[in-house]
Amino acid sequence: MTNSTTNLAAELPIPEAGELVSRAIQMGVSMQIYIGYHVLRSAYGPLHPVVVQFEAAHFGR
């Protein structure tokens, strides 16, 4: 696995996008990282290495 990343665009309803931005700010992470976490968790599950790392850093899991 490499540390290379890329950006992808996602279209979201405005209220939900605003809520996600607020959550990212509260957690002290960038919007890209926060959305990336959710995309990877949804697509690949809780055992994806990036998901595990994010949850350990931010949720103590």
Question: pLDDT by residue (tens digit) across 9-51?
Answer: 999 999 999 999 999 999 999 999 999 999 999 999 999 999 9
Q: What is the pLDDT of residue 37?
A: 97
- Mean per-residue pLDDT over the chain, rounded: 94
Helix axes 14-27, 31-44, angle to 10 degrees: 110
Q: Is the dihedral of CA 52, 48, 29, 25 positive or negative?
A: negative
Q: Is the pLDDT of residue 56 over 80?
A: yes
